[in-house]
Structure 1
Amino acid sequence: MTAKCRRRRLGLVMGALTVAGVVAVLWLVSNASPILKNPIFLVTPRQSHLPRVYHTPGVELHTEVGTEMPSDRLWHLDLKGGAPRIKVIEGIMMLAARAGATGVLLEWEDMFPFSGALANLSARNAYTHEEVKHIATAAKTAGLTMVHLMQSLGHLEYALKLPQWVMLREGESPAEACPSHPGTARLVIEAVNQLMEAVPTSIIHIGADEVFTLAQCKRCQAREQAPLRLYVDHVAHVAQHVKSRWGVRVLVWDDMLRHAPSYLLHSLAGLVEPTVWAYGPDVSRMVPPYILRTYSAVFPRVWLAPAFKGATGPLAIMPDAARHAANTLAWVQVGQRMKHYANLNVAGIVITGWSRYDHFAVLCELLPPSTPSLVVTLLTASRGFMTPATLHDAHTLLDCPPHVMLDPARDPHLWAARDCAFPGANMVSFLHRYVRLRDDVKTLQREAEERGGWLTAYNIRHNFSSPNRVREYMTNLRSFISALKDLHGEAEAVLTQYHNTATVEEWTEQHLLPLNLTLSKFTSVSATLLSHKTWPRRPLEGRPSSAT
């Protein structure tokens, strides 16, 4: 389990009571409002692979952007997993802008077409330079400021996994680079230069989070410096180059700075702007106010970072929109409070949306079906509140028909949005059917192996079971196998509308293959058990020797 996983899990535990409280408030609001007073109606999805169309052009939103909200609100487009097709990105750019985004934070990782000495950084299916230009044009057309994110020390797995850069590792793990090796800064700076040459921006984010193996190599130990001193020196070096070469503002994730003494933080003053992230609903538990007060005394500008996906588990299928809205609202309130009481200058909000927990992790929530969560969190971040009117605006932006109710208190994952017409609605419908089948198969497996007495390991090992009971299981198996076959067809028809073949194959292998293996196993075992027409007298042969 990575440290980020542990931190996120800690945030889940610490914020559990707060989630319950926020959801309870949302429930009370929804029941008191004429918009949401009726129970949510979960629409039976149409059996169609095509997106639905309910467009309502010209409909105005009910609420306006709050006057006290930060002027910059970035949504994070993480391309290191499930990179969408260009047309999909274009559509979501426009939708995000309508929901209140002012910019997009693009984490390219290996999907950027690096060249020259960095050519091997790119995945074999990376975007082309022409596609990069299309993405930049889409952002500009939507009125969004583009911000590049290039990791500078931690999370450089996509480079350090390769023989070409193995010498830059801090230890044996390819997760973090050595801050003392001159090649680390050269790699990062050259990558930033290529990003800026392709699409110039006014802000650069250099990551620098979760660097947990500092000062372990001989090169670092020879410097006889504190680990955080090595970290700060490297970040300062990269930031200084980026600022002087490109004249941009530089952002960094703040988690490594939270335990740094004030004199080290002052080494970064004027060079970077911390992006303070925490994904639980009670953000003050993870980032105590004294940390923000310290930042306000050192840094002219600070950013706050909630999440709209990729923060509730590395195997998550759909975002918990209720939790993410509560997380966003908590940051909005903390930012306003710290502004009044500690003179914290909140430059903006970055709503993160991780596609993998790191380069080696499997896919978590894909972007298209996460659109409802993105819209709700952006509306919360830009309005400064979550009310029935906010949900009404989400209903409008997602092109939902009148009978669909968006109610995070009762439907945290917003499955009801699967009958709307936003880009990705038919994928939500597909995922809903997948989740129901997955849960049904898990129930069958639990009933057979843990609660029932006819398909246990003992029955299978001795070929000794009741045919009638086995046939009962076979009835469900046949329907599950048929449903899984349909899902395979839908995956090909639906997912390919939004993602390239590699992503579709990865998602299918990650989610549908395990179901297929489980059902195949039960089918084979059941067939073997049913092939027996007579059975031996007890005691059965092959019993453990301790029973003799």
Structure 2
Amino acid sequence: MISPNSIQTYSKLIKSSTPIFVKRTVHFDLKGAPPKAEFYQQLIPFIKSLGFDSILMEYEDMFPYSGRFEILKAKNAYTRETIVEILKLAEDNEIEIIPLIQTFGHMEFVLKHSIFEHLREIPEKPDTICPSDLNSTLLIHEMLQQIRALHPKAKSIHIGCDEAWHIAQDERCLHALNTTFHNSTDKLKLAHISSIAKFAKENLNFDNVFTWNDLFDKIPSNLLNEYKLGSYIIPVIWGYTEDVTVPGYFPPGMIERYSKVFNELYFGSVFKGANGVTQIFVSIERYLSNLKSYLSLYKLNENILVGKLTGTILTGWSRFWHGIQLCEILPEGIPALVSEAIYMNDPSLNNEEIENKTLEFFNCERHQLVPVLYNGNLYTPRKEAIFSFCTFPGSDVYALVSYFPIKFFIVLKHPFFTASF
């Protein structure tokens, strides 16, 4: 591990004025292999040196819930004291921590427990909460209140709302469809999202409430306005294909519809964890292509997005959903994160120039990659293994993953992580 002091040797990236990169957020998904508390002493100054303004912290079961929610905590969950320390460190580095709490889909970490399983939309599926049960709303409100209590200075929160795969299938929702929503599933969805966002904004005093956009990407603008989504949320338009400008990837007319509703929009690109459920290695070129295509998307729609598209989140997933195996762990994504930060600083750079500048940023010489003999087999390193010889937060873990085909669980016994698997 590098020492915290050596972070200061990195050259701080000067942010470009490209509109979609003015505000920059990096997403840490803590479900599965969260960093130890002391690792943030290296990580947060490093993130600052890359030109990011904020960290989107998806706690899931790593948050120190209390009371009836104490059951939600993982055995290795952060303590309240640890989160206070992380928040202080972020504040000292002028980094905003934006807590993310799922409030619709991806609620497995809540609904897997027997005391909450009655709030599932489908009894056999713990991913989606039933939005038509008042107890669901009360549960979410209480979770958000606990998040707010431990983040008293936070200006922003993210309430998830992506990939709610099962909606309007439970008898409670079917009754609501018939009596309240005129058989419109869209209205049912929007009522829940707007209600939770309104609570976060008006009752908990968050200035900004972010959501992922996929649950309302096809809904007409007049219906979005009917539920006042423009007053309550900032949508994050996300998608991880190599070229998001391909016709049909996003629903036709989506951006134009959003421009009529929302005062502010974000893009959601990726630096790790979106290339397959079991993928271990990060493809820097693939994720760079995705990020570059968002700039192309902006330019194609600049006449309606100018002044509205103000920032980009680089997401870094650890698992596709709660309970499934890990994919690309955080140290494996650091060179990709740096490469994308360098591109955000200067979008005119080609991939070779970005690679050279990434090595320069790490103050790292280019090494020739040679095959490695392991357990009698000759292993040829992938091209990203050139960063195995660099020094950055988690670089020794990166070298283990990139240069040796060892079992994943051996890597996870490394001191970087809060627990062994």
TM over 0.5: yes
Match of 2:384 in 1: 414
Aligned to 1:99, which of 41, 45, 50? Answer: 50
User: How many pairs align?
Assistant: 396
Instruction: Find out whether 1:69 has 2:19 as its counterpart.
Output: yes
Indicate if the aligned counterparts of 1:76 and 1:353 stay in contact, CA closer than 8 A: yes
Counterparts of 1:57 and 1:131 in 2: how far apart (Å)? 23
Q: CA RMSD in A?
A: 2.5
Instruction: Find out whether 1:263 has 2:222 as its counterpart.
Output: yes
Match of 2:63 in 1: 112
Aligned to 1:233, which of 188, 191, 199? Answer: 191
Instruction: Find out whether 1:497 has 2:406 as its counterpart.
Output: no
User: 1:404: how far off?
Assistant: 7.3
Aligned to 1:430, which of 383, 400, 410? Answer: 400
Q: Over residues 369-409 of structure 1, what are the superposed CA-to-partner deviations in whole Å (9 max), with x where a residue is unaligned? A: 2211111122223433434554344223334235479xxxx
Counterparts of 2:189 and 2:383 in 1: how far apart (Å)? 39
Counterparts of 1:113 and 1:100 in 2: how far apart (Å)? 29
**Closer/same/farther in 2, CA of residues 57 and 85 from structure 1, 3 Å limit:** closer
Q: Write 1 or 2 for the structure with the bigger share of helix.
A: 1
Aligned to 1:346, which of 309, 320, 345? Answer: 309
Counterparts of 1:69 and 1:412 in 2: how far apart (Å)? 34
Ranges in structure 1 where 5+ consecutive residues have no aligned partner = 1-49, 406-410, 439-486, 506-548
User: 1:117: how far off?
Assistant: 1.9
Indicate if the aligned counterparts of 1:54 and 1:399 stay in contact, CA closer than 8 A: no
- Superposed counterparts of 1:137-536, under 5 Å: 137-172=88-123, 173-200=125-152, 201-223=154-176, 224=178, 225=181, 226-248=184-206, 249-266=208-225, 267=227, 268-285=229-246, 286-288=249-251, 290-343=253-306, 345-387=308-350, 389-401=353-365, 403=367, 414-435=384-405, 491=411, 495-501=413-419, 504-505=420-421
Report the residue type matching 2:84 in the other structure: K
Counterparts of 1:59 and 1:496 in 2: how far apart (Å)? 25
Report the residue type matching 1:232 in the other structure: L
Indicate if the aligned counterparts of 2:11 and 2:361 stay in contact, CA closer than 8 A: no
Counterparts of 1:53 and 1:256 in 2: how far apart (Å)? 41
Report the residue type matching 1:498 in the other structure: F
Counterparts of 1:156 and 1:272 in 2: how far apart (Å)? 20
- Superposed counterparts of 1:71-90, under 5 Å: 71-90=22-41
**Closer/same/farther in 2, CA of residues 393 and 433 from structure 1, 3 Å limit:** closer
Report the residue type matching 1:189 in the other structure: H
Ranges in structure 2 where 5+ consecutive residues have no aligned partner = 370-380
**Percent identical:** 27
**Closer/same/farther in 2, CA of residues 252 and 499 from structure 1, 3 Å limit:** same
Secondary structure of the corresponding residue to residue 342 of structure 2: helix
**When the two structures are superposed, what TM-score results if normalisation uses the length of structure 1?**
0.68
**Closer/same/farther in 2, CA of residues 385 and 310 from structure 1, 3 Å limit:** farther
Secondary structure of the corresponding residue to residue 306 of structure 1: strand
Counterparts of 1:296 and 1:67 in 2: how far apart (Å)? 21
Indicate if the aligned counterparts of 2:35 and 2:418 stay in contact, CA closer than 8 A: yes
Q: Over residues 20-40 of structure 1, what are the superposed CA-to-partner deviations in whole Å (9 max), with x where a residue is unaligned? A: xxxxxxxxxxxxxxxxxxxxx
Q: Over residues 32-82 of structure 1, what are the superposed CA-to-partner deviations in whole Å (9 max), with x where a residue is unaligned? A: xxxxxxxxxxxxxxxxxx669996965646x74221234311000111120
Counterparts of 1:270 and 1:325 in 2: how far apart (Å)? 33
Larger radius of gyration: 1
**When the two structures are superposed, what TM-score results if normalisation uses the length of structure 2?**
0.87
Report the residue type matching 2:81 in the other structure: E
**Closer/same/farther in 2, CA of residues 96 and 59 from structure 1, 3 Å limit:** closer
Q: Over residues 243-283 of structure 1, what are the superposed CA-to-partner deviations in whole Å (9 max), with x where a residue is unaligned? A: 11232211110011112122221111211111100101211
**Closer/same/farther in 2, CA of residues 195 and 342 from structure 1, 3 Å limit:** closer
Counterparts of 2:140 and 2:320 in 1: how far apart (Å)? 21
Q: Write 1 or 2 for the structure with the bigger share of strand.
A: 2
Secondary structure of the corresponding residue to residue 429 of structure 1: helix
Counterparts of 2:2 and 2:95 in 1: how far apart (Å)? 26
Counterparts of 1:239 and 1:317 in 2: how far apart (Å)? 35
Secondary structure of the corresponding residue to residue 136 of structure 1: helix
Counterparts of 2:396 and 2:210 in 1: how far apart (Å)? 36
Q: Over residues 199-256 of structure 1, what are the superposed CA-to-partner deviations in whole Å (9 max), with x where a residue is unaligned? A: 1311111001111211101111112132221111011111111111232211110011
**Closer/same/farther in 2, CA of residues 271 and 305 from structure 1, 3 Å limit:** same
Between 1:63-72 and 1:136-145, the stretch displaced more is 63-72
Match of 2:375 in 1: none
Q: Over residues 157-190 of structure 1, what are the superposed CA-to-partner deviations in whole Å (9 max), with x where a residue is unaligned? A: 0000001101110012101000101111111111
User: 1:141: how far off?
Assistant: 2.5
